[in-house]
Amino acid sequence: MQVTGWAMEARGAPLAPFTWEATPGPGEALVEVAGCGVCHTDLSFLDDGVPVRHALPLVLGHEVAGRVVAEGPGGRGLEGRSVVVPAVIPCGACPSCARGRGSICRGQVFPGNDVHGGFATHVLVPARGLVPVDLAFGDPALRRLAVVADAVSTAWEAVRRAGVGPGDFAVFVGAGGVGGFGVQVARALGARVLALDVDPERLALVAAHGAEWTLDVRDRSPADLKRAVRGLAKEAGLAPEGWRLFETSGTRAGQEAAFALLGPGAHLGVVGFHPGDATVRLSNLMAFDARAEGVWGCPPEQYPAVLDLVTTGRLDLAPFVEEHPLDQVNAVLDRLRGKALRRRPILVPGRG
């Protein structure tokens, strides 16, 4: 099948129209794209020199929902089914996968990095990781599920690994994108949630969707921020130890602020990506007997639990996303660069 999309041909250049032939091989599935989310990671590949594993030209986009239109030999019988395509698809057979560490599988497939991604009409991916959903291809709800492939599922994995439960104090440094979904996930698991950001609109949105408290952190030093958060926790009757902290801003200031909030027995989930350096005092981990952990995607076996939050209404996608025609991808990326978007953009092929 001839597939059309928009490819990165050179660092820092606008994406260019691109056409290629896609035929499913053994264990592969060809998925018609209903919608593909746009992530700051795409900009990191395009603008910041973060290396990709596929030779250029490369079609970006790793948040995909769509419909299986063809399978190669050894497929799963998913033809005609709507699916979510995980951003990280482990091989399922290596020692890392056998230990339950598919996120570090050397044979994993990351659409828009290892293979052509979702800024296109179709993606060709391993069938083994696809997650079936009972939605029609033209249903707007299916297009919204594109963001489950990374922004929502990665938030889930970070919160799950932190062991968040009822009554825990969860703090999200960054309320946009993955942070906004993380707030909802933590709240659904019973946590009391504080969201920090520099954008009042984002704070207002998460206040209506799970955040018990919000704090505008513009012009606040890390020390001032820590005093404010400690004061809030004390006033709310929350324990001063065991906080669950999540860095979801993907900025140097956010990373430094999140690390500064570490206290006794705290867990810090590092979710946002920042290509530059940050200055932190690593000894705080020792002094507070705390833990910091990076989160690279979410294993496909966790997706049913994530989707259950959506289908039961405990996690609302619609207020956090907006649709754009696929052929407007460069304009969307420009607006993302300029921080002019408040919601996660989803690119829709054939819309215009």
Mean pLDDT by 10 residues, the chain (352 residues): 96 96 96 97 93 96 98 94 97 95 95 98 97 97 98 97 97 95 98 97 96 95 93 96 97 95 97 91 96 95 96 96 97 94 94 56
135 with 184, same domain: the answer is: no
- Provide the domain count of the chain: 2
143 with 160, same domain: the answer is: no
Contacts of residue 87, defined as CB under 8 A and 6 or more positions apart, other chains included, come to 62, 63, 110, 111, 149, 150, 153, 154, 297, 298
What CATH number is associated with residue 193?
3.40.50.720
d(CA 247, CA 258): 6
The per-residue pLDDT for 96 is 96
d(CA 253, CA 345): 24
128 with 140, same domain: the answer is: yes
189 with 284, same domain: the answer is: yes
d(CA 167, CA 11): 46
52 with 125, same domain: the answer is: yes
144 with 9, same domain: the answer is: yes
The per-residue pLDDT for 352 is 52
CB 317 within 8 A of CB 155: no
Is the alpha carbon torsion for 54, 56, 62, 64 positive or negative? Answer: negative
143 with 278, same domain: the answer is: no
The per-residue pLDDT for 342 is 86
288 with 315, same domain: the answer is: no
Query: What is the domain range of residue 134?
Result: 2-150+298-348
The per-residue pLDDT for 351 is 61
287 with 303, same domain: the answer is: no
Domain limit, last residue, from 248, 278, 294:
294
310 with 270, same domain: the answer is: no
What CATH number is associated with residue 111?
3.90.180.10
Instruction: State the DSSP H helix or E strand holding residue 169, giving kind and residue range, or none if neither.
Output: strand 169-173
31 with 72, same domain: the answer is: yes
166 with 251, same domain: the answer is: yes
